[in-house]
Structure formats: C-alpha cells, structure tokens
Chains A and B, each alone.
Chain A
Amino acid sequence: MAREATPREIALDLDRRRKEAAGVAVGQSYWQIAWRRFLKHRLALIGGSAALLLTLMSVLAPWIAPHTFDRINLQERWIAPQVPKNVFGTDELGRDVLTRIMYAGRISLVVGYVTAFGISIAGAIVGAVSAFYGGWVDTLLMRLVDVLISVPVLPLYLIMAALIPGGGVGRIVLIFTVFGWTTVARLVRGQILSLKSQDFVEAGRAMGASETRIILRHLIPNALAPVIVAATLTVGNAILGESSLSYLGLGIQPPTPSWGNMLQRAQEYLLKASWLAVVPGLFIFMTVLSFNFLGDGLRDALDPRLKT
C-alpha cells in the first residue's frame, strides 16, 4: 500500500534532484566526484597532458632521441636550429640540443618527482605528529619549521653542496627535501588540528584504535588533498631549484645534461647562439607552468568545500 513520503524522504529526493541538475552523479565516492570535477577543469587537463608528454619524452629518450647526448662533434658546433637534422640546433661542443633536452628531462623530472615525493612524505609525517600530540612535541617541531623557513636557503644549499661530496641527483634531492618539507608540514598540521576534534576521531579512540592507526588510517587520508596539491607545485619548484644550483655550478656534473645546467652554460653564448638558452628555458617554463596548472586543478577538484 502506497504511503505518503516522510518529510525526510522528500528532502533527500529534492537533494538528489538538485545534484542531478548540477551534474553531480549520485552515490559517488569523494574521489569519483573529485575526478569528475578535475575533468571539467580545462587548464588542469592541458597541464596534466603536457606534464605527461614531457615525462614520456624523457623516459623514452634513449629510444626516441635522434643522436647521442654526449657525442662531441667539433666540426658541427653552433649549428642554428634546422629541420630535420638538428631541430633545436647544436651546442658549443657540437652536440644535438634536442637530444640533450630529452636526456636533461630525465634529470630535471626525477629531481622534481622525487623531491615532491620526499617532501610530501616527510612533511605529512612531521605535520601529523606535531598536530596529533600537541604540547611540547608540537612546539619543538613547529619552532624547527620556523627556523628552517626563516633561514635563506641558497647559502644553505651552497654549504650543503660543499659538504656532501659528489654531484649527483641524489645530493640535490636530499638538499631540497631536507629544507623543503616545512610547507607541507604546516599544511598538514593545520588540517589535522581541525580534524582531530571531529567525531570520527573520537569514535576511533572510543573503539580502542591505537594512536598510530588513528594518524595513519583516519587523519592523514583526510588531510591528503592539500598535500597532493603542494606536491605538484613542488615539482615545478624543485626543477627551478635545480636550475639555480646548476647556475651556481653546484648541480649536475658535465657531460650529463639537465635543463638547469644547459641554461647555465648557455648564458655565455646568449648573443652568439640564443637557442642554447631559449630551448631549455622554454622547457623549464613549460614544465613549471603545466605542473602549476595541474596543481590548481587538483586543488579545485579535491577541495570538499568548493561546490561543483
């Protein structure tokens, strides 16, 4: 027998209709909603695809690069960009710039990705521990963050680079991670401070969950959105950071190319062979821009407070 809908059912139905009208699928998880929102963000899609393309180009460099990246040819120095042999020209030692750009991407993107990953993990753990335990732990960690943030990083990079021998990617990533986790730590701490007083955390506690379990299973996943956004932005920053270290002669050792050291070496030939500066500059620019767009899109998509 048909009965009249209760006021609650009517309200739910209205809500569903409103959501359908707004284009939100009913019964979807947070991540599905975020994905749909992300797909609607045109700049983020462009940024994401560009980042993907650049990554593919770098990963596949050994197979698709037209020349060998360290093959010196002193008879073919300073060749201006020409199709099809040297699309981006040749450098001061006659090496193909396109090939070097592809290989350089491997270094620059690895620096970007690994730093972003390292910073996120380190920052999230410190931020979560700091917020969850509060008290002197919080004070100690946050003052450490304050100190690291207030110290100008470039001189620190120089000192670290002088102290840590070798000139590999590992050293650069280590330096960036050691000094870069602070922003993420603050983000996560803020997020968790607001989460930890909420009911589901209390419920977890009441059911006897351990502190580690509460941090790892309940708090961090809920604070993940800002971390992901910060990580994408870090990729761009790390690539720029590597280029400034290379600019100071502390980056990747020759003959291995990185976009940063290519740009650094090009400065001497700015008037003579401008393409040597323009090409790596353009790739750094494109990468940083696409990751920033991607980060923007992710922020919009993952922010639960933002309406569709």
Chain B
Amino acid sequence: MRVVARHTLVAIAAVALMTGLLPVSGDAQQRRDAVVIGMAQEPDIIGPFSTMAAAGVIHNSLFAYFAPFNDKWVRVPMLAEKLPTLKDGDWELLPGNKMRVTWKIRRGFTWHDGKPVTGLDARFSYGMLRNPRTPTLTRFILNKVDNVLIPNPNDPYTMVVQWNERWPFANALPYGDNYLLPRHILERQYLQDPGKLRADPFFRAPVGAGPYKFKEWVPGSHITLEAYDGFAGEKPKIKTITFRFILDSVVLTANQMAGSVDATEINNFGIDQMVDIERRNPNVTTHYTEALIWERIEFNNDDEWLKDRRVRQAIAYGIDRETIVKTLFQGKQPVAHSWLPTRHPGAHPNVKKYPYDPARARQLLAEAGFTPGPDGILRDRNGKRFEMTYMTTAGNAPREQTQQIIKEQLKAVGIEIRIQNVPASVFFGRVVVRREWPHLAEWATLYTPEVMPFTEFHSSQIPSAANNWEGSNRRGWRNAESDRLAEQIGQELDQTKRLELFRRQQELFVEDLPAVPMYFRLSLTTVTKALKNVRPTGLGSFYINWNSQEWSY
C-alpha cells in the first residue's frame, strides 16, 4: 500500500512539474549564500570508520587533507607545505627496502575549536587507524608504515614517517591514509577502549579543520555545515552547505529539475535521468566526469566450466558490448577492454579485444567439448545442460537491462542464462565477499589514480574462510606471471617502469580473461549553473564539493 501511495505521490509531483505548477527555479537559488546538495544516501557516521560514500562527501568540506586530488587528478598540497620527493631529499630510500619521508605541516591550520593542527594529530591518527582494535576499513598501506615520529618536540610541525617497505605513493598519503583526526578530542576515548571508538559522539558531530564546520545533523533529513572563518586555506564564500538526503533517485531527479536542490552527488542517477534533467531544467549543468569505475562480469574461476579459458573467452565473444553501451548509455560510457580505466596513465589501449563474434564463440565452445542439445542449448562432455546463473544487485536498472540483453545474446551461442538478483546488501555483504556466486556476477569497483593490482589480482588475495574472507581477488584468478608483476608493481618507484609493468599485467589479464570487462562508468553529478567553480573530479574519495571553499554565486 505504502509503495502504491509513493508511486501516486511521485506521479503527482511529475504531473505538477510537467504542467508547470512548481516553479522551475526554487527558493534555493534565491538564497545566494547557501548551497543545498541532494544525495540519495545518508551516512551512518562521519569519518574514517564509515563505509559509505555519503560520509566521504561530508568529509570533503569538513576536514583538511594533506594533499587532496584536484580535478586534474594531481595532488595539491593543502596541510602539507609540499609533497616530499626523492630529488629534494625529504623522501629517502634506506637499505633493506626501507624508506624515510619527512613532512612539513603548514602553520596556521586550526581545528574548528581553535586548537592548532600539528604532527601530533597525524601521529595519533596513524596509531589509531593502524590499531587492529579500531574498525579501520583497510590497513593494506597503513601496515607498510613502521612508525610516525616527531623528532623535535619544539617543532611539532615536522613529522618523519618510517616505511617498512617500498611504496610508490609514500609522498601522497602521509602515513598510508587520508584521515587526520584531532588528538586532543579523541585520545582519551581511544585509550579507554579503541574497540568502542566508532560509537563516540564525535563521529556524529565531528570537529574538523576544513573550510566548513559542523552545524547540525537532523537524521533522515539533512546535515548542515557552515563556513569556518579560521580556515587557513582559501576562505569559503558560501555561508552554509546543506546535504539533503533524498533516498529515492526519482524524487531526487524531480528535486533537481525543480531547483529545490542546487547540486546532486551520490545520486544514483543513470544516463537517462541526467538527460531528462538537462532537458527539463536548462539552468542545471550535468557533469559526465570520466572516472575510474570498472564495471565487469566476474567469472567464478573455480567453476568446472569456467576453469577453461576457452569458455571464458567464448562468453566475451558472445556478448555485444558495443550495442549494449550504445543503447543503454547513449554511447557515453565506453566499452572496457581491460580493467584499468582509460584515464589512468597505466591504461592499455592496445590490449587484445573481444569484439562481438558469435561464430567464434561457438567455435571456442565446440573446442572446449560442448555439443548442441535438442533445445538449442549446449551440453558439456557429461551431457549436462550449459545453464549458468548471472547475479547482480536487484533493482539496478542498467544492470538488469544489461543482463536481459546478454541473456538473449548468449542464448544465440547456446548458453542458457538464469538471472538471480539479490538486494545490494546481500550481494555485497555475502555473495561477493564470500564468493557465493556460482558462475557470473556483475559489479563495479572504484579505483583511485594510486591503484595497485596486488589486492585484486594476486593469488594470495583470494578470500576464503581460512583467511577470514580478506583480499579482493574474489574471482579466484591464479596466474603466476601476473602475481610476479603485481608484486613488482607495488615496489617500483619509477613511474615509467611501473606503468610498463601495469601494461604487461593487463595483457596477461585480457588473454586469460578471468572476468569480462563491460564498460567504464562515468561519475554523474548535477549542479545549478549559477554556482561557480564547481569542478567534479570523478574520483572516489574527492566528491563534487572537494573545493567547496572556492564556490561562489
């Protein structure tokens, strides 16, 4: 009943929109010192322990970073005076593959309660995040850091980071993480019980050092931040930023069309909705930002059929990815031929391609021992019908449409596909993490420019009950040469050499094809044209408001 009622409401809103009952320019645009950002997600908490993208958005305006990425994907120093380099000597290579990196923190940055930001906060943050009792999401890089020291107590603005092993981005994430938290507020609680830190009220009303300070959080409705006059970087011009939570993307679309939100981020929009918004409200700019989001179909490489490389390649030849991309995304999201998106410097444009070629697919399947059955579906050597399950997140329109098109295309080469979708919480919480999909599963991964292949492709990173389901090589790919390259890439400090290794690793990946790359997704955001200096990065941890202090009307 409630659902029907909601449909009715949406329908009424839609009709009202179409007949012009709602003003196209809402009241939000008349307030020239405030910005309302609509999001289809509300964070659980704010800070490093949240798994939700929405928390990261709030974080961007609330906290100061050592060196955030800008829209050109270059790290620009903010809290740090400069990025350490080998040439300048503040990044030193030591015997035994160890490293020492010296950071200078810019003076003048203060927490929103007025206390100065120093290296002691960084040292505290490192220790807290590294402590296995705190619920840090990943310690993969943190664990490579041996210690963070303040050598001179009279100069808490100079910090030395000791690395256990080589890591190419030791001058990007100071101690293996982005998060910097105030020691003077959190230390007592942390020392009392690190395990309970996540529940500390701080993470529902945090004190940051960024351009905006926390004002209020009305659960289920919005979070409001207001400009922090003491910010040591560029002074914010917009007085307040409100993040409004509109969980239904259709309703969020209507709100952006009506101008009752100024911008949207984490909006769950599809290309269709972006086009609709642009058509119906000419005062809105739609940003299709090239991103590092890889959408693919993962094989379960332990399956008796899918163990055979010919079968995996046949499936790739049997899927017309060009047509899918052209039809469903108006050609805006490019077909992926490998795992590293085009905008990454390590992308490999000349890898082997798998164009739509059903004849080749049938031939490969015949070579793998499949023979046609009476119903047009293939049978394997034991006479078993070639029927496979294809799972993804239920209710996701582009994915479900892709599935249905692929089902029809693979039927033409003799493979029966059974679609079995589950809610996102079950899919990511269980099916993916515990490798519970029998044959095919589709999802996306968001990379950063500093992505490394180790956790996702190394054979030691296959999750299992024995290793407490750690690692991201969920497809179960085992390739000794790729393993060797992944290890080498993680240690190689020379960018040119590293990117060359990246390309070789991708050639192996594409030849072996443990997953079918589908397409590279764009980051989709919208913003009213009146708001100046909005430049989305398209990166996972730097959202539309990464430079909110530069915004103005």
Contact = CB atoms under 8 A, between A and B. Distances in A.
Interface in A276-295: 277, 281, 284
A162 B422 contact: yes
B442 to A, nearest CB: 13
Interface of A: 70, 72, 74, 77, 92-93, 158, 161-162, 166-167, 240, 243-244, 247-250, 253-255, 263-265, 267-272, 274, 277, 281, 284
B3 A158 contact: no
Interface residues of B, number: 40
Prevailing SS type, chain B contact patch: helix
10 contacts: A92-B397, A162-B426, A244-B3, A248-B394, A249-B394, A249-B396, A254-B404, A268-B273, A271-B14, A277-B7
A166 B420 contact: yes
Given A93-B405, A254-B403, A270-B14, 12 more contacts: A77-B327, A162-B426, A248-B394, A248-B395, A250-B423, A253-B418, A253-B421, A265-B397, A267-B10, A271-B253, A272-B272, A281-B4
B395 A264 contact: yes
Contacts of B400: 254, 265
B323 interface: yes
A267 B422 CA distance: 19
Given A240-B1, A254-B404, A265-B400, A270 B395 contact: no
A179 to B, nearest CB: 15
B272 A244 contact: no
B405 A74 contact: yes
B407 interface: yes
A162 B425 CA distance: 10
Interface in B134-190: none
A93 B11 contact: no
A235 B245 CA distance: 36
B1 A274 contact: no
Contacts of B419: 253-255
B421 A274 contact: no
A248 B407 contact: no
A70 B419 CA distance: 13
A267 B252 CA distance: 12
A281 B270 CA distance: 23
B250 interface: yes
A270 B10 contact: yes
B276 interface: yes
Given A248-B423, A250-B423, A269 B272 contact: yes
A250 B393 CA distance: 10
B309 interface: no
A68 to B, nearest CB: 11
Contacts of A244: 1-3
Contact of B404 (A93, A166, A248, A277): A93
Nearest to B249: A268
B408 interface: yes
A178 to B, nearest CB: 19
Contacts of B191: none
